[in-house]
Structure 1
Amino acid sequence: MIRIGLFCAAGMSTSMLVEKMRKVAKEKGVEATINAYPESEMEKRVEEIDVALLGPQVKFMLSKAQGICQPKGVPVQVINTMDYGMMNGEKVLNEAIKMANK
């Protein structure tokens, strides 16, 4: 089971991507919990996730996110802008799985 958190300004713009990722996970038989949150909840949610992904619109907060996540052993990175824009749930899910397995 992999627990993925997507963080953006309000947790809304990532919701469509979350749905696409959930669909791909189900189709591939990947056990995953995938949720969207506002970036302001990262400190509260870090204990509940294995991977943190930032929406491109909040990439400016990557260093803050690393400060929150890395001490807990949670990898964090910004979602590729093209994959985000195209709502490519499969590519984003695959990236999250790679991050979790490092």
Structure 2
Amino acid sequence: MNMSREAMWLAVGFIGQLAFTGRFVLQWLYSEYKKRSVIPVSFWYLSIVGSLLLLAYAIYRADPVFIIGQSFGIVVYLRNLQLIAKQKPVKDEQPSA
């Protein structure tokens, strides 16, 4: 099956949005499991994946508002992973504020 260019970019956008939304579902379910509010490290990885895919889609659509918004988010997500990596014991979760 040959996917058109437009259909391929729509798929990128939808997959990015799915990953981005999935991080909230992950955080919610993980917090319910732990019976307290926590942000698992995988939240930040899903944030990066979703944000990069949405950034690619925004660039394709030439949407400057969307491009700036997704670009800034990637910086925040990467910084959070750096901070987590610097913690003495590497934990599966990070307490939320």
Could you tell me the TM-score, scaled by structure 2's length? 0.29
Could you tell me the TM-score, scaled by structure 1's length? 0.28
Q: Greater CA radius of gyration, 1 or 2?
A: 2
Please identify which structure carries the higher helix content. Answer: 2
Please identify which structure carries the higher strand content. Answer: 1
